[in-house]
């Protein structure tokens, strides 16, 4: 069996490594002429970490590049601690949780691909224009070129990992509605900073109405003096937003006012924000789960299949789980179309549940509950506002839906 993979992002490269691990040959086609480590921070939760570490053997490299997350911790906008729980192995999982720069993760996957699969199987500077669902032929042209000459490639299956602006998704679903804006805009950056809290804490603070932050370290000792690279995301309700572009530059003045008084004994948030070399802006947008991903010899994977709000640290992880599942079915089934359908049957429902859960009750729903019940005021005792048991239930419910509760992983 041989497969064509469209896109060399996290989903595409993981799919290629999963296919290689399963004994399936592949070629990867990417539109950019050079793969560079762009983006900001992401988290790899235990369900995805399990596959990367156990099956693909990448734990050592990921541990060198990222931070082993120790805890998830919640604060209100006054800096008061609401709730904390351990993460990764400290929470009793057999696998770590990684906080890592997206570009570092992509480079780890790319290096593994080049070593295991081979440079000759990576084709850069080619835009996919369409696919033939019956024959498994994919059509490409040179990206950023006036030369419209098409190159055709035939394989047993075509896996579209071409992101939120997927050409293949549009071909399969030409009448799909527009992306859905949540009413929340995000600004993201990374800043050199001294370690705070446990030195491996994932902080969620505030609430969307007056400003919410997600803050965590993604690289250790970046200057030989113990400084870390800190990833931060500022989220704010606003009717204004730009088009989806992970590399769109944002403006400090559009959001800094919401966080000017966030001076805590554990972190000076406005100083952290101002310390970033650049700021990226991205609207919190998703799309309704699709009725199907696969047709004939073609299927979707990752953001091309299930774009979701980045509220549960779960987008990249679901792409990794897609790749794991698809490789398994391609090995188990002799008929490619049957394999793609079984993959869809398992993953379409699972990811659709995560998309919907990210809209209403992701882990940061704890912050919403405290904001509403406290009427956005400081509290004397958090237990007068909400119990630990109720907060634990919120995070446990999300873990179950997303597939990384301990019972599901053990099974």
User: What pLDDT, in 10s, does the model give residues 112-147?
Assistant: 999 999 999 999 999 999 999 999 999 999 998 888
Q: What is the DSSP string of 222-247?
A: SSSSS-EEEEEEEEEE-S------TT
pLDDT-derived band of residue 33, with 50, 70 and 90 as boundaries? very high
- Is residue 107 a part of any domain in this protein? yes
Residue 334 forms part of a structural domain:
yes
DSSP state of 249: B
Residues in the chain: 411
User: Binning pLDDT at 50, 70 and 90, where does residue 177 land?
Assistant: confident
Q: Cα separation of 109 and 61, whole Å?
A: 10
CA dist list (Å): 107 to 10, 61, 289, 346, 361: 9, 10, 30, 29, 32
The Cα–Cα gap between 407 and 124 comes to: 41
Whether residue 410 is contained in a domain is answered as no
The dihedral sign for the CA sequence 382, 387, 82, 310: negative
| pLDDT at site 328 | 97
Find, among 57, 163, 61, 45, the residue nearest to 104 by Cα: 61
292 belongs to a structural domain: yes
Q: Is the pLDDT of residue 377 over 70?
A: yes
Instruction: Look at residue 289 and tell me whether its pLDDT is greater than 90.
Output: yes
Q: Is residue 133 part of a domain?
A: yes
Across the range 300-308, mean pLDDT stands at 96
* CATH classification at residue 28: 3.50.50.60
Please name the residues in contact with 27: beta carbons below 8 A apart, sequence gap of 6 or more.
Answer: 2, 3, 4, 5, 121, 122, 123, 153, 155
What mean pLDDT do residues 99-115 have? 97
Residue at 352 is within a domain: yes
- Residue closest to 104 by CA, chosen among 67, 65, 69, 63: 65
Least confident of 10-24, 232-246, 323-337, 346-360: 232-246
Q: Is the pLDDT of residue 246 over 80?
A: no
- Predicted local confidence at residue 87, as pLDDT: 96
Helix residue ranges, H only, 245-364: 269-274, 315-332, 336-360
| pLDDT level of residue 252 (50, 70, 90 thresholds) | very high
Segment 190-221, tens digit of pLDDT: 999 999 999 999 999 999 999 999 999 999 99
Residue 323: inside a domain, yes or no?
yes
Q: Report whether pLDDT(86) > 70.
A: yes
Pairwise CA distance, residues 140 & 29, whole Å? 9
Q: Looking at the domain assignment, is residue 273 inside a domain?
A: no
How many domains does the chain contain in total? 1
The pLDDT > 90 percentage for the chain reads 85
Mean pLDDT confidence for 149-168: 95
Q: Tell me the residue range of the domain where 353 lies.
A: 2-67+101-178+288-359
């Amino acid at each position: 069996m041989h497969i064509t993979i469209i896109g060399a992002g996290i989903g595409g490269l993981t799919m290629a490594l999963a296919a290689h691990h399963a004994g399936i040959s592949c070629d990867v086609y990417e539109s950019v002429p050079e793969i560079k480590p762009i983006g900001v921070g992401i988290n790899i939760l235990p369900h995805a970490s399990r596959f990367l570490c156990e099956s693909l053997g990448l734990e050592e490299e990921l541990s060198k590049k990222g931070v082993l997350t120790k805890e998830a911790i919640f604060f209100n906008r006054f800096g008061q601690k609401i709730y904390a729980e351990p993460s990764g192995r400290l929470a009793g999982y057999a696998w770590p949780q990684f906080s890592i720069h997206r570009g570092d993760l992509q480079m780890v996957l790319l290096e593994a691909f080049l070593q295991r699969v081979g440079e000759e199987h990576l084709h850069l500077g080619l835009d996919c224009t369409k696919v033939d669902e019956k024959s498994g032929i994919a059509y490409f042209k040179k990206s950023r070129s006036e030369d419209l000459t098409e190159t055709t490639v035939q394989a047993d299956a075509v896996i579209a990992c071409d992101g939120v602006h997927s050409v293949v998704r549009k071909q399969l679903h030409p009448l799909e509605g527009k992306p859905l804006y949540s009413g929340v805009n995000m600004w993201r950056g990374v800043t050199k900073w001294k370690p705070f809290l446990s030195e491996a804490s994932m902080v969620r603070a505030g609430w969307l109405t007056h400003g919410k932050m997600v803050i965590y370290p993604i690289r250790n000792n970046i200057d030989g003096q113990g400084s870390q690279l800190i990833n931060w995301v500022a989220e704010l309700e606003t009717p204004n937003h730009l088009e989806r572009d992970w590399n769109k530059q944002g403006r400090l003045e559009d959001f800094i006012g919401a966080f000017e008084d966030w001076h805590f004994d554990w972190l000076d948030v406005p100083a952290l924000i101002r310390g970033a070399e650049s700021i990226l802006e991205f609207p919190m947008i998703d799309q309704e789960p699709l009725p199907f991903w696969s047709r004939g010899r073609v299927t979707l994977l990752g953001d091309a299949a299930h774009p979701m709000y980045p509220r549960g640290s779960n987008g990249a992880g679901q792409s990794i789980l897609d790749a794991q599942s698809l490789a398994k079915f391609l090995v188990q089934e002799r008929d490619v179309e049957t394999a793609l359908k079984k993959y869809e049957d398992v993953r379409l429902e699972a990811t659709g549940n995560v998309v919907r859960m990210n809209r209403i009750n992701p882990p940061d729903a704890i912050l919403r509950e405290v904001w509403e019940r406290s009427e956005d005021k400081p509290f004397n005792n958090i237990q007068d506002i909400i119990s630990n048991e109720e907060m634990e239930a919120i995070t446990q419910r999300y873990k179950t839906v997303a597939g990384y509760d301990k019972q599901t992983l053990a099974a």
